[in-house]
Structure 1
Amino acid sequence: MIIPTFSPFSSSEVEELPHALLASQVTEKKLKNGLTVLVKEVYPASVVCISVWTGIGSVYENDHICGISHFIEHMLFKGTETRPVGKIAQEIHSLGGYINGFTSYACTCYWIVLPSRYFSTATDIMADALIHPLFNPEEIKKEREVIIEEIKMYQDRPESFCFERLMGLAYKNHRARRPITGYEEVVAKLSTRELIEFYRNYYVPDNMAIVVVGDVKIKRALKVMEESFGFMESGENTKDLSPDEPPQDGARSAQYRGDIGTSYFYTGFHVGGITSPDMCACDLLASILGEGRSSRLHQGLREKKALVTSIDASILALKDTGLFIIEAVMNEKNIEDSRIEVGKEILRIQADGVLPHELKKAKNMVESSYIFSQETVEGLCRKLGYYEMIGDFTLVDQYVRGLYAVTEEEVKAAARKYLVEQNRSEVVYLPGG
């Protein structure tokens, strides 16, 4: 799977894309208080998605409050002065819609999808939830228990267990080393005062954006947003930035045993952040190596040698850092042979490069993913909001243009630069213990 990233190539350097660009026909406006609003009219059906984005996530939390962004996400649907606990979701459901939220490393998002005739009502509900949360101590206590159970649940999932430990192994300084949910011992101690203070510091117009996509006229959407969110008070947006990660100077490895039925192998290599000039080449390299049944690793390790049950490659790309991840599931007896075969495939690309048809296929797969993301109003909202949080929603189209500009030699150079032994971290999770 390729995780969307940005490359600074101009449109003149590549062929024209054979479809409408995602960021085209988006109206952008800043409200008087500094809040950014993006509106895109699309009419696949009479539905609309309203998403509110805040540029705060786990990488902006110091170690003493790690997990607080995720905790606040849980609390913002837990009642306001005019809507008791449960009423927010109940009202949206009664209108035929659904409401949810998520927290990531760098941002937090809340979204509603519902029939467009209820757009104004839904916006009012969303504004009330985000601007007037109660932070009731009893609800905080209940939600703390829910979050701690969520943290424990992730530890019971082998994939989450391996991913979190790979991040903790690969990163020593950068806050990406910690899970987004935080640690149980930290979440257990977060106070009501800390939650409210963090909320007031970062849920301010200059640190937020609203994205509206669907069956709604631009003029009406902007008017409703001004009425619902325009009175939010401005505030300072000074983030606690993560420390930089120094270059890795040697291979790292860790092995665990647990109550699982098969073995898991995760390996990661540091790459640049989203704005790195190598990122598009790294994305395509990940696709060629491990995306889909025709990828090199799947064909070599699963189809030909039957060493693994599954194997994939992807990139986790943050604004200032990234990790090229290969993950596989296999029988314990095949761990060493699988490690050797993965290494051989990497060496082949470093020595011989990739074939023209492989690069073309990888670009086609990325383009297909890009097109499919436009099939729903929710998908459009997520793409536009994600890139707006990075810095500019138009970067979503520059990313695709950048991918089309990548050459075979650039993919080979990326493999030589990043997929090297001193830059590798490995986690193995085995049955038993």
Structure 2
Amino acid sequence: MAGLSVDWRMARLPNGLRLITIARPETPTVAVRVYVRAGSRYDVPLNGVTDHSSSVEGPDGVWPTREPDTLERGPLRPISLLLGLAHFTEHFLFKGTRSHDQRDLYGAVERLGGVLDAGTTKEYVTLYAVTQGDGLATAVDVLAEILAEPALREEDFWQEKLVVLEEIRRAQDQQSVIFDLFAETIWQRHPLRYPIRGTLEGLHDLEPASVIPFYRQRYVAGNALVAVGGDIEHAEVRRLVEQSFASLHAGPEQAPLPVEEPPLDEPRTAHLDKEVQLTSLLIGVPAVSMKHEDRAAIKVIERVLGMGGSARLYQHLREEARLVYSINTVTAHYEDAGYFAVHTVCDPQNLGAVQQAILDEWDKLRREGVSADELEAAKSNYAGTQARRAETNLGVASIFGVQGLLHRVETFDEAVARIEAVTRDDVLRVAREYLSLDRYVAVTVGRQAQT
């Protein structure tokens, strides 16, 4: 698609930190985004054992540790109650540095009309700043200081722990908990099953001394990447980043270890009862990682079935049958796993009919595939989506940053070309391989149908 080509460069700095610059001339802002392999999948080691010494040295002295409690989670053996460690560490980093308090850090960016923020995902933590174009040096300095020189004061720990506990409590009242329930159900052993925010049990048992080893292990140069988008010169950005991030702890990249996930050999269900008027259903199947070639055909299926008001599921279940209030497809492609799912909200009494109608649409796709017109519409939709994602410097830095951290950079033109290469036969083959009618996960949140 014309207009999506970008001038980008990637470099490995002397301390192992990766840098990606995306030059976008005549844009008024600059976005700096830092990524670290420190998401919730790293909360708990795969073997269920955490190395705890009797004490650990923090920035403000020696903090005592204790043996963690354990929690049985489904078919897993007991694991350390550290669920939420990654998310909490992200919060903890923003409580100030050894040189500046929190207000100073925010103020340095905000006086330039900018924004400073962070977030945790299942695979990584990201910190970012967006400012006017001449704020590049400030944005880089602030992010580097937060990442490499956090204060990590024990008194701040207890204050922030209350904040995160309340955040988890509030989240339990939201329909979004269905995605946590789905992840916990579709994966039995994979650490992607862990909720990003953590659990109340995990946060209650989390102590200051747990954070320091996690920070020292995960927040190292080899695990991190800086992506910068704007009206910039690569050489100047490299000079600034190399100078500001020189104090980031050295250490190698730590990719996730392989996981042997038990196969899904029958329907797997779960329900979370809530006294709400409507019930949410999320039904899906294991799919592919971000590195798999079938990802392109799945993107087509995602659009044909459930992206937008013209999609099959929306038209058939909402407009024609009047069974649902909303419905859409959801795909997740992680570094080593993925899923395809349909999310819908309906009256509890309609749950059975809705689930069967979704499976019927899967069956139709498995039997008939897609029409030539549907295929072309899906490809055009994907190209338009890519164009929208490329509208801002933060969006571009985000896309290139995640790809550079977890896999490889795929330009917008390359991504569109990959989708353009999908054929109707590809869609039919992929639908038959992944859209199983007897091996799926279906989870619900809300009230169950009255019998």
Structure 1 length-normalised TM: 0.91
Paired residues for 1:275-314 under 5 Å: 275-314=291-330
Provide the residue aligned with 2:48 in structure 1: none
Residue 315 (structure 1) aligned with residue 297 (structure 2) = no
**Conservation of the 8 A alpha-carbon contact between 1:47 and 1:214:** yes
Helix, strand or coil at the partner of 2:172: helix
Residue 344 (structure 1) aligned with residue 360 (structure 2) = yes
Amino acid across the alignment from 2:130: V
Shift of the 381–66 alpha-carbon distance from structure 1 to 2, 3 Å rule, reads same
Paired residues for 1:96-115 under 5 Å: 96-115=113-132
Which is worse superposed, 271-280 or 285-294? 271-280
Q: Alpha-carbon deviation of 1:328?
A: 0.7
Instruction: Provide the rounded CA distance (Å) in 2 between the counterparts of 1:44 and 1:70.
Output: 36
Provide the residue aligned with 1:59 in structure 2: 41
Helix, strand or coil at the partner of 2:438: helix
Shift of the 422–81 alpha-carbon distance from structure 1 to 2, 3 Å rule, reads same
Gaps of 5+ in 2: 45-78
Q: Alpha-carbon deviation of 1:224?
A: 1.0
Residue 18 (structure 1) aligned with residue 21 (structure 2) = no
Instruction: Provide the rounded CA distance (Å) in 2 between the counterparts of 1:394 and 1:299.
Output: 33
Instruction: Provide the rounded CA distance (Å) in 1 between the counterparts of 2:256 and 2:432.
Output: 34
**Conservation of the 8 A alpha-carbon contact between 2:7 and 2:24:** no
Provide the residue aligned with 2:385 in structure 1: 369
Residue 125 (structure 1) aligned with residue 109 (structure 2) = no
Amino acid across the alignment from 2:3: H
**Conservation of the 8 A alpha-carbon contact between 2:30 and 2:230:** yes
Paired residues for 1:35-184 under 5 Å: 35-62=17-44, 63-64=79-80, 65-158=82-175, 160-184=176-200
Q: Alpha-carbon deviation of 1:211?
A: 0.7
Structure 2 length-normalised TM: 0.88
Amino acid across the alignment from 2:148: I
Q: Percent identical across equivalent pairs?
A: 27
Taking only aligned residues, the RMSD between alpha carbons, in angstroms, comes to: 1.8
Q: What whole-Å deviation, never above 9, does each CA across 1:174-196 have from its counterpart, x for those lacking one?
A: 11212111111112222222211
Instruction: Provide the rounded CA distance (Å) in 2 between the counterparts of 1:429 and 1:104.
Output: 22
Q: Alpha-carbon deviation of 1:242?
A: 6.0
Helix, strand or coil at the partner of 1:230: helix
Amino acid across the alignment from 2:189: N
Q: Alpha-carbon deviation of 1:431?
A: 3.0
**Conservation of the 8 A alpha-carbon contact between 1:384 and 1:396:** no
**Conservation of the 8 A alpha-carbon contact between 1:314 and 1:325:** yes
Helix, strand or coil at the partner of 2:20: strand
Which is worse superposed, 224-233 or 162-171? 224-233
Instruction: Provide the rounded CA distance (Å) in 1 between the counterparts of 2:302 and 2:216.
Output: 40
Q: Alpha-carbon deviation of 1:240?
A: 5.7
**Conservation of the 8 A alpha-carbon contact between 1:269 and 1:323:** yes
Gaps of 5+ in 1: 1-16
Q: What whole-Å deviation, never above 9, does each CA across 1:298-322 have from its counterpart, x for those lacking one?
A: 0000111111111101211111111
RCO higher in 1 or 2 (8 Å CA, sep ≥ 6)? 1
Instruction: Provide the rounded CA distance (Å) in 2 between the counterparts of 1:337 and 1:309.
Output: 14
Provide the residue aligned with 2:51 in structure 1: none
Q: What whole-Å deviation, never above 9, does each CA across 1:83-127 have from its counterpart, x for those lacking one?
A: 123321122112211011111111111000001212112221221
**Conservation of the 8 A alpha-carbon contact between 2:297 and 2:426:** yes
Amino acid across the alignment from 2:376: K
Amino acid across the alignment from 1:143: E
**Conservation of the 8 A alpha-carbon contact between 1:78 and 1:86:** no
Amino acid across the alignment from 2:102: V
Provide the residue aligned with 2:394 in structure 1: 378
Q: Alpha-carbon deviation of 1:244?
A: 2.8
Amino acid across the alignment from 1:185: E
Shift of the 88–59 alpha-carbon distance from structure 1 to 2, 3 Å rule, reads same
Helix, strand or coil at the partner of 2:205: coil
How many residues align? The count is 414
